[in-house]
């Protein structure tokens, strides 16, 4: 039996996404065995982030500075704005280094079942950013779910009065995907978005 403190650490780690009780126990054992090289640096990093963590007042990203590193970067194309549901989506797109513009985090997606209404998301601040001008394209990078597509459609309707080009991420067949393993929704979207062979 572990002490209450070690058990509390294990339970805290087990609540993290992707870690269950067994993985959390293995992580705790590793941290305890490598106290100087793993536990100390982890504790320092967590404390530093906790002390400085903030939400970007412009885009809604989570960072240790406000505005965040993306909004403060002068090399970013301020004319392109990519709208995402969550911070994790922003980080995934930014990691790809394929989108040179700025981002806007909604903080979720519209969902009648979960009671998430437009007022619960940062849609009004998105409209204000577009209204201020200087944006030529808005990329709606919502997840390919019913709620995500509903959110994208709602936002597209709200910004159609502005002189901006509204685009959406392509959906369909993944590279290396085999047809017999794909669900009907993915196949239907791929067929609807078909294009001429170059």
* Three-state secondary-structure class, residue 101: strand
Q: Which pLDDT score, from 0 to 100, does residue 176 have?
A: 78
Decide if pLDDT at 149 tops 80.
yes
Torsion angle of C-alpha atoms 109, 110, 112, 115, degrees rounded to 10? 70
Q: What is the pLDDT of residue 198?
A: 61
- In tens, the pLDDT along 80-96 reads 999 999 999 999 999 98
- Res. 145: pLDDT tops 70: yes
pLDDT of res. 1: 65
Give the mean model confidence (pLDDT) for residues 46-50.
Answer: 92
pLDDT at position 193 is 76
Q: Please give the mean pLDDT across all residues of the chain.
A: 91
pLDDT in the model for residue 22: 94
Decide: 105 and 90 in contact? Cβ < 8 Å.
Answer: yes
pLDDT at 140: 95
Give the pairing of strands 165-168 and 137-141.
Answer: parallel
Q: What DSSP element (H or E) covers 150?
A: helix 146-159
Interatomic CA distance for residues 46 and 135, integer angstroms: 36
């Amino acid at each position: 039996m572990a002490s209450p403190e070690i058990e509390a650490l294990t339970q805290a780690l087990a609540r993290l996404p992707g870690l269950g009780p067994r993985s959390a126990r293995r992580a705790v054992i590793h941290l305890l065995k490598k106290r100087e090289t793993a536990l100390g640096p982890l504790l320092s990093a967590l404390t530093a982030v906790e002390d400085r963590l903030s939400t970007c007042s412009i885009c809604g990203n989570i960072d240790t500075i406000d505005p965040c590193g993306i909004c403060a970067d002068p090399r970013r194309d301020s004319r392109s704005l990519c709208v995402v549901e969550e911070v994790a989506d922003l980080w995934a797109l930014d990691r790809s280094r394929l989108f040179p513009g700025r981002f806007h985090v909604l903080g979720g997606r519209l969902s009648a079942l979960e009671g998430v209404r437009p007022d619960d998301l940062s849609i009004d601040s998105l409209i204000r950013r577009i209204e201020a001008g200087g944006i030529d394209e808005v990329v709606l990078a919502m997840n390919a779910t019913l709620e995500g597509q509903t959110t994208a459609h709602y936002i597209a309707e709200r910004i159609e009065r502005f002189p901006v080009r509204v685009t959406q991420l392509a959906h369909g067949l993944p590279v290396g995907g085999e047809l017999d393993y794909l669900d009907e929704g993915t196949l239907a979207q791929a067929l609807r978005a078909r294009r001429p062979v170059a």
